[in-house]
Chains A and B, each alone.
Chain A
Amino acid sequence: MSKQPPARPPATRFAAGAWPVLTVAVAGLSYMVADPGSLVPLPAIAFCMLGRWVQRPPKPWHAPDWAIAVAVLAVIAYAVVVSVERGFEVRTFAHFMVLLAAIKCFERRTARDDGQLLLISIFVILSTAVSSSELVPGLLTLLYVLFVIIAAMRVQIDIVVPADDARPVGVARLGWTAYLLVGSLGFGLFFVLPRDILRSEGGASLAQAQQGVAAFRESVELGTGGLISSDETLVMTAEIVRRLPPSRAPRGRGGGPQEDALGHAVLRFRGRTLDQYRDGRWEPSRAVSEAINETIAVVGASSQRLGLFDAGTDDRVLVARVEQFAGASQGGTLFAIQKPSTFGAVSGDVRLAVNRIDRTIRSRDQIVTGLEYEVTSMVRSGDPPSFGVRDAVAPPPDPGYRAFAESILLPVGLEPDPLLRPQADDHAVVTLLSNWLRINKQYTLDIEPSPPGADPTLWFIRSGRAGHCEYFASSLALLCRSVGIPARVVTGYLLTEYDPPSGRYQIRRSHAHAWVEAQIGLDDWREFDATPEGVFAGSNGRSVNPLTRWLSSIETAWLSSFVSFDRGDQDQIRSRFARVFGGADTERERESRGASNRPRNVIAWILIGSSVLIGIWAAAGLFRRPARRGHPGIPPEAAAAVRELERFWKRRGTPRPRGSTLGSHARSVGPEQALAIVPMIERVAFAEGSPAELRTNKWVQRSALGEVT
């Protein structure tokens, strides 16, 4: 007794309705990754799946209409209340959409509902795009496009043929084809869509806001999260393209780049300097923030001397090529290792501003998508005077700082009073204070709140046990000031994660850091870092596992080629095209040359356009070519009989007129045999009769031989 194979399950509503739910799920997940603090999509996705699950045959269940209406009203109320309370937020909108999708999944399913789910998922994915441009949401968006394409195809089929009535129709292959076409064409359009028009400050702010709160800040406020960030988002990559002279690099000293145990320099990307302290808050003084900012030039690809420093014979020259992504800084701050001397923008032009007081540079334009630049820095090993007299910096208001500094310095014989202390001891004083902090305080990311009303820095020095970099920097700066040494807090990034395959440093939000610059001697500002060494324990290529490195490479590629793609990259692509066809190299060059190259470029574009059109025409022709000459709709026997009848009538001089049926023509012109054959042809054509009866029909055979006239 043979066992019957199990019957193939029919296409069900549940199976057919899975694609829209999956699409919503991918969109929701993508939003969750883009906005890590948002957890609403997770239960919403679970409810979506549950809603479809309970509608599975044989006993589908769906929520009553009143319950759906109540749920929709509740979700609308939630969105309104939250929006009134916090203002309109992308997060609220995304939550509203995923909750709406969850409710829709409990409705009695129709193909139209599936279409609405797809529309909702589009809104969710737009929320994702507005919220983040990071790699994982980007990849999930790529996946989403595939899902939504297949789901849209399925919905179109379900609209015309209810899923219960139809056999399953596979559209996955066509879906993949469409996905590849849409994806590649979408990327093509992405590259050519015009940039830099309709660009607004508000938009730039939005673009910056979408990156989340940057770890780097232009002010420091103790007791808050500050620079602390566990966000591993890549914000910059940097390559040291030149290091001169390599053998003379100072090692392990406070005045120059330190090196870690593996020999890689722990470099610091200097961003902003903060020289004004009040109640635990460091910010730039008015003089620094307002007086000296000036736009020196629009700097393009050729490096421009900033006019700040000239390299001395003992200076160590570092040339860094930096790719700075959106969200790396606030207010257009650009980063350099110590003192920048020349600057050149690799991608596009930059309106550059130089601050001559604190020796920082910044872009006047918002860095919306990203910026690639090359900056030359001077790392001084000697102490040649470069500007004026020693800067006057206000001492800390609380005398407790001075008392504490004295308790550290006096036991080792260093004079706290600047008038009595030899200038040569300044470096030793700062180093001693720095070492004291490093030894006696621990590094932690958990903020221990200072007592209300107390100065957070003094509290940290006196009784705090652990703090993060801002506490150490603030403490060292104020202790230095208390003993007459000008000092300021610097915010920026540590370059601790070196990626050997790419030869670049990976700089993440979590690498944001604060340290101190103290004026040693007359006018040489040097770096000091009181933060314990543990904070430098970044990955340096050997400790990172291959998967992480691989992901890091992908992330770098994503950020550098996609997220930071801008007008400059477009110009590069255009110039490559133009170079192939002998046109101008860049837009600027084209402008400078005037219209002389225009005809050649027009010809080039005509050629490209013609090639594309020919390709499309060829592809369309390929698709249009019919399968075979003949009668694909009916069996060949019936088709042959039709042909014979037509020939026969033609031979007799009574061809069948266009539009008349075989039957009516046979009835009107005969003969009897034809009249008998027509029903036979119909039976065979409609699969009601056997083709053999036509094949063996004597009249058809004789007619084919031309014997019948």
Chain B
Amino acid sequence: MSEVLEIKNLSKKYGNFIAVDNLSLKINSGEVFGILGPNGSGKTTTLGMLLGVINESSGSYSWFGKPDFENCRQQIGSILEHPIFYPELSAYRNLEIASMIKGCDKNRIDVVLERVGLLERKKSNYNTFSLGMKQRLSLASALLSNPDVLVLDEPTNGLDPEGINYMRELILSIAAEGKTIIISSHLLDEIQKMCSHVAILKNGKLIKAGSIASILSDKKHFEVNSKHPDFEERLASLSFVVSFAKESSHYLIRCSEDFDSQVINEMFFTEGIVLNHLVLHKESLEAEFLNLVQ
């Protein structure tokens, strides 16, 4: 698996404010890589630097192992924040401008418009489009040069559930072709459905990165319960229980290590506690994200 992007100690400062702080990251080809973070965490600033529109204060990045970004532009298709087009021009004319800038064949315009379901509206002015159509036109523009990498900043922002679903299916179909996709979003559920890997940013700093599976299995949660009279007090005293929380019919515990269910059961038994409920809690990315950023 070849390396698509390497970021080394990338930082962006605005006066005394540090928007991105010493970020280092590697993304390999074929990954669908999610960049997560609360508002102001530096996601868009990071993508802006990687796309050459924001000057980095320090650090570096290289696409496809090449230090010169200008030679890689054709291989990268991007959407940064909201869709941006010339409002008085039609969808086709807007993509014509983009295709000329990208230096790609104009025959690709109809191909990408068909792919995003806008071929029949190609002569319509951009300012007559709904937000969902504008987002799809953005994706069409990003796909014009048939790039190896797609960088999508909040591609489902502002869309209704149907629009989100359409966009998700579209992105997954593109990912299925083997393209590398770097995507930032607030919609953690969407990221979990689409991404193979994530990086979580907070205040411009990388606080976690890896495959979704590894992040979610890092600290397993278990649902446990017992008829032990001092169960809650005992939970608080057990060394292998990092934290616990009472839920409606059970306690949700987080362990210090990556124990499996059998080991957990044995450890409780050793402590004189017989569990009558032990279930591996399926963790959501959202819960893990909130746990990490709070």
Whether chains A and B associate is: no
List chain B positions with a Cβ less than 8 A from chain A.
none
Interface residues of A (CB under 8 A from B): none
